[in-house]
Structure 1
Amino acid sequence: MIGERLSEVRKDHGDTQSSLAKKLNVSVATVRSWEQEKSSPAHEILVNICKMYRVSSDYLLGLSNVDPSYIQRRRLESFTQQELEELAEYERFLLWRREQEK
């Protein structure tokens, strides 16, 4: 499971196997081996991958089918900066309205 998820997350961040290998100071063959499920990253490297891509180890390891924070980040990345500002403004309005109703 880690290979498929690692490949997905890596591509979502615009990294190639080569660029990920450089970031982790491992060979491209090592990254390829992980993604083909022939081997798994060491604990320290797994932690680095999770921090780098801001994804939970449970999701990456296949222990959970959903990483809510990762899905949220992917969704938010689809908005323009102006749209994000409008969302923040609407959020402030909703909180203000909730306070007014009390």
Structure 2
Amino acid sequence: MKIGKKLRELRIEQNLTQNEVAILTGIKRSSIAAYELNEQLPPVDKLIQLAKLYKVSLDYLCGLDNSEIRNTRNEKSKI
């Protein structure tokens, strides 16, 4: 699966609009749309922001790991 499709699916899973993602990350809405349509590849710094927002690994976004790795750091500290 391409990065754009994953970004779109993650955004929809979290019930966010492209505009809301833009506000939360500081990335232009037009850039987010271009990423989701695979018209542009997000630079690494933007990928990091989006991975943090969606709580997934960069490996997952880049297709290096097909399992969805969620950020569980906070959950582990509760144990």
TM-score, with normalisation over the residues of structure 1?
A: 0.62
Q: What does 1:38-77 align with in structure 2 at a 5 Å threshold?
A: 38-69=39-70
CA RMSD of aligned residues (A): 1.5
Shift of 1:68: 4.2
Letter in 2 for 1:48: Q
Equivalenced residues, count: 70
Match of residue 84 from structure 1: none
Q: For 2:27 and 2:50, locate their aligned partners in 1 and report how far apart those are by CA, in whole Å.
A: 12
CA–CA distance in 1 between the matches of 2:69 and 2:42? 23
Distance 1:37 1:52 in 2: 19
Higher helix share: 1
Verify: 1:11 aligned to 2:12, yes or no: yes
Where in structure 1 are there 5+ consecutive unaligned residues?
Answer: 71-102
CA apart distance, 1:26: 2.2
Q: Which runs of 4+ in 1 moved over 4 A?
A: none
How many Å apart are 1:69 and its aligned residue? 3.3
Amino acid at match of 1:45: K
* Aligned match of 1:24: 25
Identify unmatched segments of 5+ residues in structure 2.
72-79
So what's the TM-score if we normalise by structure 2? Answer: 0.78
**What letter matches 1:23 in structure 2?**
L
Deviation at 1:11, TM superposition (A): 0.9
Q: Which has the larger radius of gyration?
A: 1
Change (3 A) 1:43 1:14: same
Once residues 59 and 21 of structure 2 are traced to their aligned partners in structure 1, the CA distance between those partners, rounded to angstroms, is 20
